[in-house]
Amino acid sequence: MSKRYKMKKMNKRITYSSLIALFLLLFLAGCKTSTKVAPVALGAYKSESEFIADIEEKAFDYETLMAKMNIELLLPGKNLTSRVDLKMIKDSVFQISVQPFLGIELFRAVISTDSIKLIDRMNKRYVAENYEQIKGQTRLEFNFYNLQALFTNQLFLPGQQTVTAKQFNKFRLNQDGDYAQLQTKDAMGILYTFITDGEVKVLSTTISDTRQKFALCWRYKDFKRTENQLFPMQMDLELFDGEASSGGGRFTFTKIQTNMPVKIETAIPSKYDRISINQIVKSLSNTDF
């Protein structure tokens, strides 16, 4: 393999890492055989509150989570892939480490309840900002706990940490056979739509502008038993600009462990240059893909 080819391949990986950074900023991640579970008819539930309570009771339970996955970024005419390690400490922090080859980390994102750090090792630069500093750069009333819920296949209320019994009335429930749709809105009028099945699994989460100017659809597939709980081993993401798809991604989990000791690395090398989120977004807008 020529040196020029290697550099070209590496530059492609670097571009991918930068896109992962932008994705996170815009929307602030040993298997056993699959086990079939008989669906429960939704009509058996006596009330909407009973149905939502059952979803919460059967939600994926963990205190820490470590996962290995392959991630693919799908853009018009381009597919970019990498290996990714995910570490999560529930309700505290999670870390995404992009390692395209030989376990060498090129990019890291550390997201906590109040701040975000992005470390670009190839370009020796980093972002470290709290949410107040980046407030207004996204149209969503969306927080750390909501992003955590997306990665762990859970129902959530925008801007909230948990879904309590007193908040069940914030969802509107529509049933159709063995499937149900739960919808809620945030203070900005953004619509959150959850599709569930008779096993009260969340099959998809869609975040959309009521005027249909944009949407993010996060779909869950390939549910398998891991440590006696069902977990989706594939997550598909798709972004829409109006009715047209503008790209997306796919997370394919290869290994999941829960409730093991987890160490989050937050140190930033002293020689790295600090840049702003605006600088990253600007550099991406000038990138030739």
Q: What are 120-134's pLDDT values in tens digits?
A: 888 899 999 887 766
State pTM to two decimals. 0.81
**DSSP-assigned beta bridge partners for residue 234:** 221, 252
Contact 84, 18 (CB under 8 A): no
**DSSP-assigned beta bridge partners for residue 72:** 81, 250
Percent of the chain surpassing pLDDT 90 = 46
288 in any annotated domain: no
1 in any annotated domain: no
178 in any annotated domain: yes
- Least confident among 38-42, 54-58, 259-263: 38-42
276 in any annotated domain: yes
Rounded mean pLDDT, 175-202: 88
Rounded mean pLDDT, 202-224: 89
Rounded mean pLDDT, 248-260: 94
CATH number at residue 22: 2.50.20.10
143 in any annotated domain: yes
- Least confident among 25-39, 51-65, 153-167, 265-279: 25-39
287 in any annotated domain: no
Is a pLDDT exceeding 80 seen at residue 44?
Answer: no
27 in any annotated domain: yes
2 in any annotated domain: no
- Residue numbers of the domain that contains 90: 7-282
Residue-averaged pLDDT of the chain? 80
Is a pLDDT exceeding 50 seen at residue 216?
Answer: yes
Number of structural domains in the chain:
1
